[in-house]
Amino acid sequence: MTERDSRRRQILDAVVGSGQLSALAFYGKGRETDVRAESFRRMVNPLLDRGVQRLIIESRQGRDQRDRQVLVEELRRLDRPQPFRYVHLPPHGDPLLWVADALAWSHSAGGTWRARIADITAAEDVSPP
């Protein structure tokens, strides 16, 4: 987030105060591609449990195929017959990507920023053991 702290607080307060959102945050140490793949593996089941039918993913220009491969493999492994679609969009392709960026930034910033989103965010470390 490139905004001033006062604007960051305003945005996060609006997101948390809306009562409309909950977030799963996956983070980890290691190669970005490995952390991203493991994040997708771990998010599929909780998303299906919540009845999510469409996942919007920020495109990584040229690396989206790996995301699709991981998601297809995990959906097959889980063998849960319910509608689930996913789409890659550019960073400004959907306003919810902006919300995801704000929450991810807050989680990684830690301290009071992480505390500000704690009521709507569940986080899981996907680092290899």
Would you put residue 14 in left (φ > 0), alpha (ψ -120 to 50) or beta? alpha
C-alpha 2/C-alpha 21 separation (Å) is: 22
Query: What are the two backbone dihedrals, phi and then psi, of residue 97, each rounded to the nearest 5 degrees?
Result: -65, -30
Q: What are the extents of the domains in the chain?
A: 5-122
Measured CA to CA, the distance from residue 102 to residue 94 in angstroms comes to 14
**Residues 51-94 pLDDT 10s:** 999 999 999 988 999 999 999 999 999 998 888 999 999 999 99
Residue 35 CB partners (closer than 8 Å, separation 6+): 26, 27, 28, 29, 126, 127
Read off the pTM.
Answer: 0.86
